[in-house]
Structure 1
Amino acid sequence: MSDSSLKTLHDNISDLISRRRLAQAIDQVEATLSVYNAPWQLRERIEKLRTDYGYLRRYALDGVADPGRASLYDAIASQLLGMTDEVIRASRTADSPRLYFSTLRYENMQPDSSITSLLERYTENVRKTGLALFGGMDNAADDRSMRDVQEKLASRLFALLWVTHPLSDADAAAIEGFICDPTVGRGIKQQLISSLMLGALEIFDAARLRIMLSIYYRSGEISAELRLIALASLLIAMWGNRGRLSDRRLADMLAAASELPSWTSDLRMVFVRLLKATDTERITGKMEREVIPGMMKIKPELDRKIKELKDLSDLEGAMEENPEWEEVFERSGLAEKLRELNELQSDGGDVMMVTFSRLKNFPFFSDPANWFLVFDKDHSSISFFDAPEADALKELVAEMPYLCDSDKYSMMLSMNSVPEQQRTMMMQQFRAGNINFAEINASSLRPEAERAESEVNRYIQNLYRFFNLFRRKNEFANPFAGFINLPEIDELSEWFDDAVFIRETAEFYFKRGYYAEALAMFGRLTDRGGSDQWQVYQKTAYCMQKLGRIEEA
């Protein structure tokens, strides 16, 4: 069966379920199982669903009161969609050229394809490396070899967790235990959380969502940064599977999470960061259409002024002291645009995408796992030069506050293509610049919540780059293709139902010209009253006007 036929099958069954024609949906799934000669376990499950639905319908017709009827109906519908997913997945496994299925085929052929055993191997390698370092490892080659084993295991774990479906209870427990292990570094933990999310976007599995939510719970065992990264990944996975979240255990966990003091504020903070990530395309367009062409126009004049300087080492000081530099930018209109971009960056906007989108063609970025790596100056991919100046440069890049991890790797990898003489000169200039690392590291002195929010912002930027720049990006459902509108998810809507927050979200859309989204949010405010209601109506009308709905406006 072709991909288009499989999609039609999924759409048909989804449509029957949405129209509450569960009996027909069960018949169609059963017929599909027969065509594919599905395993007996699936046939047993469909028979059990048919029996459960028969009892459900009979009790309803007899007028028997049943408070759990709605949740049982939803559970049957969810299982039907899950079985459809499994049939489609099985039919594609043998010959689909997509990366997901080629990875699945590879893992199916490996004798050690077990999440639990790979986690154990990784933990043992960490223990051995720690003991070797504690004992004073003399051989740098041995150190590098142990690190290489660790990196390869991390990549295998990412891939295997991504394509494993469904996750068993044993695997889920092992993953949670591993992420809570204080001896394991944050890098692999962040990769595994990302893999959980990617797997959930490929084929729905409530167990993956429960693991991510459970990680968020563990405030005493896991850092605030990692907890919020797990929450961001969970919310993206929920958005990608909205309409399929009727899992009782997940609902109970969400209810329990809402008792945490920071739940609502964390939820809203991540939502705002996801909104800002989706605004990246607009910012990138502004850079490409206005800022970069403007810079090219004034480049000859800037070059001339630079040549007039006798000492290039104090270029920044010369620009501050000489008003002519500022006049060049003001006359060109660039000064205002640059101030706007600076404000966007300070507010969490992604102005670096346009620069680093051209630096994602290195072989390093062919492995999906590497897009989710925490920047590590000791990673093998950036060990190609080892001078003292290189260590200073890696340290500088590691501490750059506005670069996400993906862009930090891009910057270091691009250095490998710079001729050695120029590279040495650049590194010497970094050293001669007497960079104040104490000032750069000032971010580490900020309150934990603020640091965690910055980490979440950079993590979301990593995700945005993967879904938009990975060479096989078309094989993935891109959650950033439109706004990730979390208030539309029924299971989350109550925590966004606040007039002040709705107004702030509406203003975000309105200010940036997303009038359809702004109109929807202003519409939620029109019945709430308030002294500024006239402004809500005024902006509602303006949105309608911009959308061509003149009479309504």
Structure 2
Amino acid sequence: MHNEIEYVFNLLENHRLKEALVQIHAMASQCSSWQLRTDVETLQTTYDLMLQYNAKGIKDPKQKDMYNKIFRSAYEMAERTHIMKNSTSSFALYYDLIRTYEHAKPHTLSELQMQLEAYTEDAATAPLIYSDANRCKSELAGIRERHEKALNELFERTWVSLYWTEAEVQEAQTLLNSLLVPVNDLCVFISAVTMSQSRIFDIRKYMLLLEAYNHPDPMVNQRAIVGIVITALFHEHRIMMYPEARAKLSLLNEDADFIKNLHTIQIQLQLSRETQKIDRKMREEIIPEMMRNPRIGNSNKIGFDETEDSDDLNPEWENWIDKSGITDKLREMGELQMEGADVYMSTFSQLKQFPFFRQMSHWFYPFDRQFPDIVTIFGDNEEKRMSLLDIILNSDSFCNSDKYSFCFSLIQMPESQRELMIHQMNEQSSVSQEQLEQITKMTKSTLKKENISRQYIHDLYRFFKLWSRRSEEKDIFESRFELWKYNSLKKAITQPEELKKLADYFFQKDYMEEAFQLYSILLEENKTNSELWQKAGYSLQKLGNYDKALSYYKQADIIAPDALWTNRHLALCYHKLGMPEQALQYFKKVEIVQPDNLNLSLQIGQCLVALKKYEEALGYFFKVEYLEKNPNNARRAIGWCSFVIGKYEEARKYYDLLLQATKPKMQDWMNAGHLYYTLGNIETAINYYQKAQSMCEDRNMFLTFYLEDKKYLIEKGFSEEDIYILLDELL
């Protein structure tokens, strides 16, 4: 079935409209809905008439508009037909709900709005109406449950709705603008619209997302802009077919706030690509390393009371932390967290098995202490002073989904243990008024737009990666999130000043492919900026595209001639491309400025070796050996050059030094073997070759390295037979 719809979409993307309509009609004929078949046939007839009029030479000034309308309708009809076919056979939740709501009509958006609006008032008046505490508690529980049921229905009926009618649009706008519907409920509604858009493209729902971005509450408008981005990921080519969408986007793309928010979300989505790496590092490195802590497992098995000096810290523990490298890893995690990376995925991924997470809509709930299952943790008379529990649940470090996980973990505890733990959180972590003000100020940062969007993206990540039925949804986090490639967002994301910041961010984080794309866009408007040419070239160099990198470096060199950095990287690219003569030319330019750069001397020496100028190369290598604290690289080069030009005693001196070092390399044993073989000391040569072979992954790897040097051995007077006989002697 997916092949059918993809085939139709492919026809439409190639503007083969008539063929696409034939395919849609064939799909519709397999559906039981007479209304669907009628609508498809009407669309076909309309297009056939248009073709007939055009064939007769009849000019219609509205022909272009008519064609575009039919074209858009063909997409919608294809999606509608595809869903109708699947709804009769698929057991995915999406189609289950479609069947459910076909048989039991859902409430209208207006009816659901009334129920949601009643919630706040009912919850506020219940304590006034019911003086009995138990009765009041029971009534409040019922109010919360009815509210949750209405909110879940709002999410589901919005998610599985196909194309809104004008009446539904009006109801949706009224719901969005209601001052009585809780903001948290509006957030769930916006998420439902977004998830619907990930399935099919409804221009009316998309326009609602664009309108929701202007909502005054940042909780709502940040979910809306994420929804706008997700819609672009799935339906970019569809968005630009609608003049009303283009007009609205044109205004937003000029809005400074929208541009800033969009760049923030671009970075946050990019950071989501790091989550799997962070998760793996936590599971495979940090947590196992922490479990090896000498303090873990030293419980008092005999039962003696601890003596007063039992709190004395063992200095070896601090040494263990430093030696294990755990400090650096934790610092790295802290830095990533400060940037907005998701460092808690590993911690909370095992806590998504609670019944709460079986309901799809719950993954999109903003955290609410009044949720029916967790309100018991806090009670109706919350303490006014800030506690550790408040700090955790108000922190912007944790996304909404993880806060629910934390609370359900508390609920799983035995009641007495839970109450004791919460009491300790309240008592032991009470803070001074000054500290309270600082913490309150800190927790208010939750209202910052970047924190809201980051938490929401983390919630989305958990949904697409951890929901029990995640295989039924298209995972948005399989996308590359290159928003500058989408016409609907391109104008906002490519504003020069913000784009430069974004490009530099990617550059610093080693996302070189993305950095190159952005620098290329910037260069279209600013071809005289040598820094942009340099950074674009460096991005290509890091990607291994040395040939193309050269062209960018040369352009930078034209704009700012003989820049040290440019010359050095021109040389490095030529060197990587196996062009030593050109590399040497630029290395020599760098040498004029940096005559004492020992690494540069090694690189010049390598170029000279490649050009078979061994004597000249030796001069550079001797210089490095004399001045370098760790001269082994220079000694390898001296040994090899001396061997090639026949200075065997000098070569032996340097290979003996290398083999007496702490960790000789495989090549040291190999090259020393060549030397002793040439000197006629076959026994020592075989011994060294065997050492080299033992350091290779397998014999094939050894043979590859050995035979690469065959030409040098032949120059020393050995025949090919001699070389192959020696190989058999190693077995």
Q: Is 2:113–2:175's contact at 8 Å kept on the other side of the alignment?
A: yes
Residue of structure 1 equivalent to 2:162 = 165
User: Against the structure 1 CA distance between its residues 205 and 542, is the aligned structure 2 distance closer, same or farther, given a 3 Å change threshold?
Assistant: same
Identity among equivalent positions (%) equals 24
How far apart are the structure 2 equivalents of 1:410 and 1:535?
Answer: 48
For 2:66 and 2:309, the matched residues in 1 are separated by 77
Partners of 1:288 and 1:354 within 8 A in 2: yes
Paired residues for 1:365-376 under 5 Å: 365-376=357-368
Does 2:408 match 1:413?
Answer: yes
Query: What CA distance in whole angstroms lies between the structure 2 residues aligned with 1:328 and 1:60?
Result: 85
Flag the 1:433–1:67 CA change in 2: closer, same or farther, 3 A: farther
Deviating more after overlay: 108-117 vs 457-466: 108-117
Structure 1 range deviating more: 127-136 or 303-312: 303-312
In the alignment, the residues of structure 2 paired with residue 311 and residue 403 of structure 1 have an alpha-carbon distance, to the nearest angstrom, of: 37
Maintained 8 Å contact 2:363/2:463 = yes
Letter in 2 for 1:354: S
Residues 107 and 388 of structure 1, relative CA distance in 2, 3 Å threshold: closer
Residue 72 of structure 1 and its aligned partner are, at CA, apart by 5.2
- Equivalent-residue separation in structure 2 for 1:123 and 1:67 (angstroms): 45
In the TM superposition, what is the alpha-carbon distance from 1:188 to its structure 2 partner?
A: 1.0
Distance in 1 of aligned mates of 2:232 and 2:401: 24
Query: Which residue of the partner structure matches residue 377 of structure 1?
Result: 369
The 10-residue stretch of structure 1 (432-441 or 465-474) with the greater mean CA deviation from structure 2: 432-441
TM-score by length of 2: 0.66
What's the offset of the Cα at 1:274?
2.1
1:232 aligns with 2:226: yes
Deviates more, 1:284-293 or 1:43-52: 43-52
Contact 2:28/2:36 (8 A) holds in 1: no
Q: Cα distance 1:44–1:425, how it changes in 2: closer, same or farther (>3 A)? A: closer
Q: Which runs of 5+ in 2 are unaligned?
A: 550-731
Q: 1:123 aligns with which of 98, 103, 117?
A: 117
Q: Distance in 2 between matches of 1:542 and 1:309?
A: 62
TM-aligned CA distance change 1:73 to 1:501, over 3 Å: farther
Quick check: 342-351 or 494-503, which moved more? 494-503
Which residue of the other structure, out of 63, 72, 77, is the alignment partner of 2:71?
77
> Retained in 2: the 8 A contact 1:112–1:118?
no
CA 1:475–1:425 in structure 2 vs 1: closer, same or farther (change >3 Å)? same
Select 2:99's aligned residue among 90, 99, 105. 105
CA contact (8 A) 2:17 2:71 kept: yes
Distance 2:78 2:349 in 1: 37
Once the two structures are superposed, residues 159-194 of structure 1 have per-residue CA deviations (whole angstroms, 9 ceiling, x without a partner) of: 111111112222222222222222221211111110
Q: Output the TM-score relative to the length of structure 1.
A: 0.86
Task: Specify the alignment match of 1:443 in structure 2.
Answer: 442
Q: 1:49 to 1:397 in 2, by over 3 A?
A: farther
Deviations 1:27-65 (A, max 9, x none): 222233234354346534553455357637965996969
Q: Tell me how far 1:74 sits from its aligned partner.
A: 4.3
Structure 2 residue 14 is matched with structure 1 residue 19: yes
Count, aligned residues: 532
Q: Over aligned residues, Cα RMSD in angstroms? A: 3.4
Give the aligned partner of residue 94 of structure 1: 88
Residue 363 (structure 1) shift: 0.6
Contact 1:16–1:24, Cα closer than 8 Å, also in 2: yes
Verify: 1:154 aligned to 2:148, yes or no: no
The answer to whether the 8 A contact 1:33-1:87 is kept is yes
Is 2:249 the partner of 1:257?
no
* Alpha-carbon distance in 2 for matches of 1:67, 1:309: 93
Question: Shift of residue 293 of structure 1?
Answer: 2.6
Which structure has the greater CA radius of gyration?
A: 2
Structure 2 counterpart of 1:340: 332
Q: AA paired with 1:277?
A: S
Question: Which residue is 1:354 aligned to?
Answer: 346
Deviation at 1:401, TM superposition (A): 2.3
The 1:431–1:132 alpha-carbon spacing in structure 2 relative to 1, beyond 3 Å, is closer
1:434 partnered with 2:426:
no
Q: Are residues 1:542 and 2:569 paired?
A: no
Structure 1, unmatched stretches of 5+, are 1-5
**Structure-2 change in CA distance of 1:378 and 1:120 (3 Å):** closer
Maintained 8 Å contact 1:399/1:440:
no
Q: Distance in 2 between matches of 1:46 and 1:308?
A: 86
Between the two structures, name the one with larger relative contact order (CA 8 Å, sep ≥ 6): 1
Q: How does 1:92-491 map to 2 (within 5 A)?
A: 92-133=86-127, 138=132, 139-218=136-215, 222-245=216-239, 246-297=241-292, 299-301=293-295, 326-383=318-375, 385=377, 394-436=389-431, 437-443=436-442, 451-491=448-488
Contact 1:26 1:50 in 2 (8 A): no
Of 186-195 and 138-147, more deviation after overlay is shown by 138-147
